[in-house]
Amino acid sequence: MMHPGFVLLYVNNLDTSVAFYNEFLALQPVEHSGGFALYVLPSGLKFGLWLRETVQPAVTAQAGAMELAIVMADQPALDAQYDVLRHQRVAIAQAPVQMEFGYTCVVLDPDGHRLRLFAPGEA
C-alpha cells in the first residue's frame, strides 16, 4: 500500500518562494540547500519547494494546475487570515465566498500556485 507524504511545488526563484512560505506558513524550512527547501507542517505533511530548472525530468506544466488546500477553523478565522494576506499584498485569485463545500478564498504564491483556504460546512 502506498502512503503519499510529500507535496512538491516547482518554483522559479527558490529564495523568493522560501521567503513567501516562511511568512505564509509561519515556519522555517527543516532543509534548505541547493535548489530545494523542505517544510514539515504541523499535520506531518512534508511540503517541498524545488527549483524548476533543476527538476528531472524537466517540468512542462505551469503553476496553477493544482491547489494546496488549507483547512481553517471557521469563517472568522478565514476572514482574519485573508485580511493579513491582503495587507501583505499577496495576490488574490478569489475573495472569500460561500461555495457548496464551505467558505473559501484563493491566494497565489509568487509562482502562481493556488493556495485555497476554506472553512468546511460554514453557512
| Domain segments of the chain as ranges | 6-54, 67-120
Number of H helices and number of E strands within the chain?
A: 2, 8
Average pLDDT over residues 10-14: 96
What integer pLDDT is reported at residue 2 of this predicted model? Answer: 84
Task: Write the pLDDT tens digit of every residue in 66-115.
Answer: 899 999 999 999 999 999 999 999 999 999 999 999 999 999 999 999 99
Q: CATH 3.40.350.10: does it fit domain 6-54?
A: no
Return the pLDDT at 119: 96
Q: What value, to the nearest 5°, has the Cα angle with vertex 26 and ends 29 and 40?
A: 40
What per-residue string of b and e applies to 56-86 under the rule 16 or more CB within 10 Å gives b? Answer: eeeeeeebeeeeeebebeebeebbebbeebe
Q: What is the pLDDT of residue 3?
A: 81
Dist CA 30 CA 40 (whole Å): 7
The CATH class for the domain spanning 67-120 reads: alpha beta
Mean pLDDT across 42-71:
92
